[in-house]
Amino acid sequence: MTPEEIKALVRDVPDFPKPGIVFKDITPLLTNAPAFSSIIDYLADRATKHGAAGILAIESRGFIFGAALADRVGLPMHLVRKRGKLPRATVSMEYDLEYGTDHVEMHADAIEEFGRYLIVDDVIATGGTAAAVVELVKKQGGVVSACLFVLELGFLNGRSLLDGHTIESLMTL
């Protein structure tokens, strides 16, 4: 499927999760096998070009795309989760939200020093979560080879927080 055909499957859900927000629903991309396969093809093509040693998939929908991508390109996948969800020793990064802060963490042994990693998520919106993951990689001595997203909400300018890093998105709204 073409990116335009895939883009047409994304649904707008008005007033979710609160009034005034138009939520971009990507679940139709998961229920359409040709669309999902095309998305993984796109991500795999980009992943191969960036020469990474592993994939860091961001909770929770990033796990879906990250796992399929890891299988397709033969790379290990590490989970990036909200605080308190991982069973072993972790490293954590706090980041700002519009009203407050949040945390992401990964296992402390996920990153090899000087190793190159792809950050994968379904959507980049304001960029705060992805930027926190970039900082986690740096904190552990790794290198971010690229940030790959299925959908970019360009009007929120999230890529500005990832300045200096390669950012690739299948589609931008």
pLDDT in tens, 69-80: 999 999 999 999
pLDDT score recorded for residue 98: 67
Contact criterion met (CB below 8 Å) for 29 and 140: no
Query: CA–CA distance from 57 to each of 12, 22, 52, 87, 160 (Å)?
Result: 24, 25, 13, 17, 20
Percent of the chain with pLDDT over 90: 94
Q: Where are the domains of the chain?
A: 52-172
Q: What is the pTM assigned to this prediction? A: 0.94
**98 or 113, which is more confident:** 113
pLDDT of residue 99 exceeding 90, the answer is no
Give the mean pLDDT of 8-16: 96
pLDDT in tens, 27-62: 999 999 999 999 999 999 999 999 999 999 999 999
User: What is the band of 96 on the pLDDT scale with cuts at 50, 70, 90?
Assistant: confident
pLDDT score recorded for residue 100: 78
pLDDT score recorded for residue 94: 93
Could you give the residue ranges of the DSSP H alpha helices within the chain?
A: 3-7, 27-31, 33-49, 61-73, 128-139
pLDDT in tens, 115-140: 999 999 999 999 999 999 999 999 99
pLDDT of residue 63 exceeding 90, the answer is yes
Give the mean pLDDT of 93-118: 91
Domain over 52-172 is classified CATH 2.40.128.20:
no
Looking at every residue in the chain, the average pLDDT score rounds to 95
Query: CA–CA distance from 28 to each of 3, 7, 80, 91, 106 (Å)?
Result: 14, 10, 24, 34, 29
pLDDT score recorded for residue 163: 84
